[in-house]
Chains A and B, each alone.
Chain A
């Protein structure tokens, strides 16, 4: 089955800095990669996703890159703000299969 590794487990940055979270996956058949943000005690919320037919996707301050050959994908947050502080989860799946395999999460702390 699919295995998703996520690094780092904790990331502390100053407000305004960029943050990068990296994930690797094991199943070369996986072709859909969503990222979820979970604030303390709240539900995970989809913030961006990417499919294997593109290498990069951007939405305002967040972007995701995908390297299919290396089987890794990354979340980039620019100009971080304190409200970006949360746990971020990457996931991978085969499109249409539904079941997501999640990484262990990265706790991002943005200090003012």
Chain B
């Protein structure tokens, strides 16, 4: 139980294009989903928290117009990196929570912007 999927697992795009990453909870309803960014050999940096049907809460320093988050249902959240640039290249990981405390992580998406 508590499986979270992410798609795509890997994406390469040209600078200036937008990329959408999907995060799904497969066997539970996620009241809250989280988006993290992880640099090589670094910790997980929380970007934003999203609750189904409401606007995401962004962490300080994260541009909400750059990283668009939609949490349209209890099993799906999407992160769109708009007008991507090479500095946006990173490993993006989502997590989902069905209740307090426990977070289940997706497998991550490796984004490379050329």
Residues of A that sit less than 8 Å from B by CB: 32, 34, 36, 41-46, 49, 89, 93, 95-100, 102-105, 107
User: How far, in Å, is B103 (CB) from chain A's closest CB?
Assistant: 6
User: How far, in Å, is A97 (CB) from chain B's closest CB?
Assistant: 8
The reply on B78 being an interface residue by CB < 8 A is: no
* Interface residues on chain B, number (Cβ under 8 Å): 20
The reply on B101 being an interface residue by CB < 8 A is: yes
**Are A102 and B43 within 8 A (Cβ)?**
yes
Partner of B97, one of A43, A98, A105: A98
**Are A105 and B100 within 8 A (Cβ)?**
no
Q: Which of A34, A43, A89 has the most CB of B within 10 A?
A: A43
Of the listed stretches B14-22, B67-75, B79-87, B105-113, chain A binds B105-113
**Are A99 and B42 within 8 A (Cβ)?**
no
Nearest opposing residue in chain B for A44, CB measure: B105
Which residues between 23 and 58 of chain B lie within 8 Å of chain A, taking CB atoms?
A: 32, 34, 41-44, 46, 49
Beyond A43-B106, A43-B108, is A102–B101 a contact (Cβ under 8 Å)?
no
**Are A98 and B49 within 8 A (Cβ)?**
yes
The reply on B93 being an interface residue by CB < 8 A is: yes
- A44 CA to B108 CA, complexed, in Å: 9
- A100 CA to B36 CA, complexed, in Å: 11
